[in-house]
Amino acid sequence: MRTKLLSEIKSKIREIPDWPHKGVNFKDITPLLQDKNLFHKMIDFLIAPYSGKKVDKIVGIDARGFILAAASAYKFKTGLAIVRKKGKLPAKTVSREYSLEYASNVLEMHEDAILPGEKVVIVDDVLATGGTMKAAIDLVKQLKGKIVGVNFLIELTYLKGRKNIKGQKIRSLLQY
């Protein structure tokens, strides 16, 4: 049943070659989000490994991570904290720079987004090189949160992003 549902979920991920840049095979999750049954099931699968565990907050990464994290937090009855791109958060922030292929980027969190010792799960849509998640992990650690796990809908295993986020309990629902 789970295997069948996972392959149905995977069939709703649309691949867009050479977008937003040549050489990137973009995984578009919007067809999955539009399907009421599979969207629901996907969130259930994402949070299932944490059933019975204490989690205080789900942390979502800008921007598609917000969608998955918000639905997960609602379903799991936890708080939600957000990691945003530079300049978007209005109150006092902590920030982390990370490298992209040809440039660098900055991610920020409000400094009161996580209380010291809170147990958190960090969620994003895609694990590619792992740079984005590494920056999010560093922000949560700076705020003294305890990371229970990091959760992806999609893992691009050929990019070996796990190497960048060693030491964490990493889970992904779909692998390519």
Question: Rounded to the nearest whole angstrom, what is the least distance from the CB of residue 127 to ligand AMP in the complex?
Answer: 5
Which residue among 8, 15, 64, 96 is the active-site one? 64
**Facing residues of 27 across strands?**
15
Q: Which two tokens stand for residue 91?
A: 């109150």
Tell the smallest beta-carbon distance from residue 26 to ligand AMP (Å): 4
82 binds ligand AMP (CB under 6 A): no
Report the alpha-carbon distance of residue 95 to residue 107 in Å, rounded. 6
Q: Which residue from 72, 78, 93, 132 is in contact with ligand AMP, where contact means CB under 6 A?
A: 132
Q: Is there binding between residue 30 and ligand AMP (CB under 6 A)?
A: no
CB of 34 or CB of 115, closer to ligand AMP: 34
Using CB under 6 A as the binding rule, whether residue 64 contacts ligand AMP is answered as: yes
**Rounded to an integer, what distance in angstroms lies between the CA atom of residue 30 and that of residue 16?**
12
DSSP annotation string for 77-133: T-EEEEEEETT---S-EEEEEEE-SSSEEEEEEETTSS-TT-EEEEEEEEESSSHHH
Looking at 3-11, 82-90, 106-114, 122-130, which segment touches ligand AMP (CB under 6 A)?
122-130
**What does the alpha-carbon distance between residue 137 and residue 87 come to, in Å, rounded to a whole number?**
19
Instruction: Measure Cα distances from 6 to 31, 67, 80, 93, 137 in Å.
Output: 14, 19, 26, 38, 27
Judged by CB under 6 A, does residue 143 bind ligand AMP? no
Q: Which stretch binds ligand AMP (CB under 6 A): 18-26, 39-47, 52-60, 74-82?
A: 18-26
Q: Using CB under 6 A, which of the segments 75-83, 112-120, 128-136, 140-148 binds ligand AMP?
A: 128-136
Residues that bind ligand AMP (CB under 6 A): 24-27, 61, 64, 124-132, 161
State the catalytic residues.
64, 101
